[in-house]
Homo-oligomer: A and B are copies of this chain.
Amino acid sequence: MTNHRRALADFRWEGVDLRAYKDEAAAPFRSVTRQVLATAPDLKGELRYFEVAPGGWTTLERHAHVHAVTILRGAGRALVGDEVFAVRPLDLVTVPAWAWHQFRASAGEPLGFLCMVDAERDRPQLPTAEQRAALEAIPAVARFLAGS
């Protein structure tokens, strides 16, 4: 057993599997991968690396658990609650409990980020048609969700 996992090229790591972001059928997303970098029975947090390919996006969702995100690679935009902002490497993003959120990579660059969460956490909720309409009533959010 080693306590050192070397970084490989292109944001991969020794002994860390590249996984599907989610079950395709369960929630809409495009071009996202997931690597679990740190998880242990005696650790209450978990650290994952997500990478959104150029033009891709994570699921629009919300939940009780909090995300603490550190951008590592590329460029993109984030929606948190009713705020939309551009993100770049080393920026920090907090997703509070029950805030709707989504990450979108720029057309020309992937967006890679670390995400710290509680190991024990609730399942995400997807927006109802009504909740999505309420988000789209905010012009900046509507533009973000349309990918424009």
> Hey, which chain B residues are within 8 Å of A97, CB to CB?
42
> Hey, which chain B residues are within 8 Å of A91, CB to CB?
4-7
> Hey, which chain B residues are within 8 Å of A58, CB to CB?
none
> Hey, which chain B residues are within 8 Å of A83, CB to CB?
2-4
How many identical subunits does the complex contain?
2
Closest 8 CB pairs of A and B: A45-B45, A7-B90, A38-B68, A44-B44, A5-B92, A3-B80, A3-B94, A44-B118
How many of chain A's residues have a CB under 8 angstroms from any CB in B?
47
Q: Given A3-B80, A88-B7, A89-B7, decide whether A70 and B47 contact each other with a Cβ distance below 8 A.
A: yes
Q: Which residues does A use to contact B, with CB under 8 Å? A: 2-7, 11, 13, 16, 37-38, 40, 42-47, 65-66, 68, 70-72, 78, 80-81, 83, 85, 87-97, 99, 114, 116-120
Q: How far is it, in angstroms, between the C-alpha of A117 and the C-alpha of B46 when the chains are bound?
A: 10
Out of B13, B44, B117, name the residue touching A92 (CB < 8 Å). Answer: B13
Out of B47, B87, B90, name the residue touching A13 (CB < 8 Å). Answer: B90
> Hey, which chain B residues are within 8 Å of A65, CB to CB?
42
Out of B81, B92, B99, B118, name the residue touching A43 (CB < 8 Å). Answer: B118
Q: How far is it, in angstroms, between the C-alpha of A114 and the C-alpha of B2 when the chains are bound?
A: 19
Inter-subunit contact A3/B38 (CB<8 Å)? no
Shortest distance from the beta carbon of A132 to any chain B beta carbon, whole Å? 20
Q: Chain B CB within 10 Å — which of A45, A65, A96 has the most?
A: A45
